Every structure is written in C-alpha cells, then in structure tokens.
Amino acid sequence: MAAARLIVAANLAPVAADNPAWLGRVERLRRGRLLGLIPVLVAVGWLLAMGGPAWEGDLANLSPVPAASRALDAELRAALGAPDVGQLLILRGRDPEAVLTAQEALVPLLGRLQAEGVIGGAEYAARLLPSAATQAARIADLPDPGTLAARLEQARDGLPFRPGAFQPFLDAVAASRGMAPLRLGDLAGSPLAARLDPLLFPRDGAWQGPVVLQGVHDPTRLAAALGGQDAVYVDMRTELGGILSGYTVQAWRWLGWSGLAVLAVLAVGLRDPVRVLRVLGAVGAALLVTVAGLTTAGVRLSLIHLVALQLVAGVGLDYALFFARRPLDVEERARTLRTLVTCNGMTLLTFGLLAACQTPLLRDIGVTVATGALLAMAFSFLFAGQSPTEGLPR
C-alpha cells in the first residue's frame, strides 16, 4: 500500500504543482476543526448511554453462510428429523459394545427427563443399533414356532384370514431366532451406517458415543440429573462462545500492546507531544465514531469487527502521519492532499465492494473498513493537518 501511494504521488506531482490555487480553499476548512469534535462527543455520549457497544458471543451468528440459507438448513433438518448438534452427552468405551451398553443404561433417565420437560428428545447410536446383549435378550424372548403358531391361530379365530396367510411371518420369526446379533461392522456401506457414523466412532484409542440432546429447556436440572453418571455434558454453543471470547480477549491484548508500541514510535519519530496528540486523536476519533455508527445501526460487534477496526486504525495512522508532516512548500502540500484523496478513494471502492457482498462476514469487514477509512480521512485532515498559513494561494 505504501508503494502504491508513492507511485500515485509521483504521478500526481506535476498536476499538483501546476495548479496549487485550490489548496488554500480546501485547507481553510481546518479553521472549523473544532466543529469536528461534535460528532466525536456525540459518539462518546451515545456509547456511554448505551452501556458500550453490544458484542456478539454466539459463534453461529458469525457464520459466512447467509441467514436465509441457515434458516433453510434448520427447516430441512426438522423435516428430515436430523438433530441440530448443539448440546451433547459424551460417553466413552473401549469398544462399540461398551458404548452402546452405556447408552442403554441412560435410556430410563433420558425418558424421565423428557417426561418432565427438561429435554425434548435424544438421538443416540443404541436407538438405531442395540447392543449385542440387548439383541440376544430380544431374540431369546421370541416364542418358538409352535407357540407362535398357536397364538396366531387363536388370534385368527373368527377373522376372515385364509389359512397360511401368516406363514411368512412365522418363517421370519423362526429365522430370527437363529440369527446372531447384528454388529457395527455388519452395517458397512448401508444407509444406516451413514446415520451411525457421527453417533459412534473411534478417537484417541477409544470409542465415542455422543448422545445428541434436542430441545434442552433446563440445562441446570439436566446437569444435576446427570450427577454420578459416566457421561460428560457439553453445551457446544457455550463452549464455542468461550473459544470466541478467548480469541477476542487475545485480540484486545495484542491491540493494547500494539497501541503502546505505536505511541512509543510516534513519540520518538515526531518528537512533538502536540503532533503526537493530534495524530492519535484523529485515529481515535475515527474509531469512536465508526463504533458508534455500527452500534446505532444495531450491529453486534464481534472479533471480525475488531480485526477490521485494527485495519482502520492502521489506515488512519497513515493518513494522520502524512497530514501531520511539515511539508517543504505549497506544491508538496498539494501533492500530499491529492495523493491521500486518491488512496482513500481506492480504499472506499475496494471495501465498498465487500460491503455489497451477500456473505455476512465479508459484508461486516467491508462496511467497517469503508466507514472507518472515510472518517479517518476526514478527522486526519481536520485534526492532524497544519493550520492554514499566509503562504498559501488565495
């Protein structure tokens, strides 16, 4: 970006030098620089009245997928009966059978919690594939062919079913009595295996069996009911929110250290407390008004906005430093102003395109940087630039 500015400056130098008469009219605008404090004071007052900007803590709302597509996904999941993985119980075992057995031991508790309205339901592997012990018990409960035939004959008495109508059923039950329990490996390549894959899988030398909870209405009662159970309750939204908060805190920490480093460099490079204050004031004013504008528009700030604001701070610092430098002559002041206006225009075009994107993440970056860059240009001109002098053309 710096190289581009030098190239633009070199290209514009002859034009600016030939016609610097406009410079006096433009720089006289700085006589009303105190009026530039009005939007800054309004922004500070608004943010204080609002209790500060609202921050987004739900990672799902930072998805690059548009809201309409996410709503369609939720509708399709509901139609297909597919669970929305948000809150889980994690069970571990040495093999699939151990996990399935542990899940079956939780079934009475899950049924009671559902009856009490604590949860709306649950999806787990043992519901689709019972453990071998449960399958063997159910096979053992099947009546022998003679007993089953006698019961069917008794049930058919007086009904208009022809003799032998239920023979295929009798044959199927007889075949089931001789079948071995179905194992996970027997389902490889089947549609049922695709349903089981996210519900029963190996990891880190053990088998994991998440129980996907649906419609959790009382997480506190759920956690209390699970006390003593060999299951770990995980709220994915809370965990992901914690991760997001951690990265946000880290970003604020790096932003603080970067600010101190910038302050030290400015103090050494400018060697003028007033000029340092003007440069930092211009950048700070742009950031404050940008944040206040986003808050007024109902935007909840996130890590994405924080990164975009850091870019605004960097761009604003460039503008302020160029305006704060002491030019050698009128022509150099004209070249500086024209170059910065051109660079600012290119920045607005670039991030303005992002602001028009349908992807929420890119749109947030574009709106924040485009707004901040425009404000940084205006406040740098007003606060960091030198006052009009008698030597300028009128």
Q: Read off the pLDDT of residues 61-72 as tens digits, 9 standing for 90 and up.
A: 666 667 677 777
Q: What is the pLDDT of residue 370?
A: 95
The pTM of the full predicted model, rounded to 2 decimals, is 0.65
Q: What is the pLDDT of residue 17?
A: 44
Question: Does 12 score more than 60 pLDDT?
Answer: no
Question: Does 198 score more than 50 pLDDT?
Answer: yes
Question: Does 97 score more than 70 pLDDT?
Answer: yes
Helix axis angle for 330-355 and 360-379, nearest 10°, is 160
Q: How far does CA 29 lie from the centroid of its chain?
A: 43
Q: What is the pLDDT of residue 60?
A: 65
- HSE-CB at 50 with a 13 A cutoff on CA atoms is 20
387: confidence class by pLDDT, cuts 50, 70, 90 = low
Q: Pick the most confident of 27-31, 129-133, 235-239.
A: 129-133
Chosen CATH of 2-63+240-384 out of 3.40.50.720, 3.50.50.60, 3.10.620.30, 1.20.1640.10? 1.20.1640.10
What stretch of H or E contains 203? strand 201-203
Task: Give the residues across from 90 on adjacent strands.
Answer: 210, 232
79: confidence class by pLDDT, cuts 50, 70, 90 = low
Q: What is the pLDDT of residue 21?
A: 65
Higher pLDDT, 200 or 156: 200
Across the chain, what does the average pLDDT equal?
83
Q: What is the pLDDT of residue 159?
A: 84
Q: What is the pLDDT of residue 9?
A: 47
237: which residues sit within 8 A by CB, 6+ positions away?
A: 58, 59, 60, 86, 87
164: confidence class by pLDDT, cuts 50, 70, 90 = confident
Q: What is the pLDDT of residue 165?
A: 83
Question: Does 365 score more than 90 pLDDT?
Answer: yes
Structural domain spans, the chain? 2-63+240-384, 79-235
- HSE-CB at 104 with a 13 A cutoff on CA atoms is 15
Q: What is the pLDDT of residue 90?
A: 87
Q: What is the pLDDT of residue 15?
A: 44
Question: Does 191 score more than 90 pLDDT?
Answer: no
Q: What is the pLDDT of residue 3?
A: 42
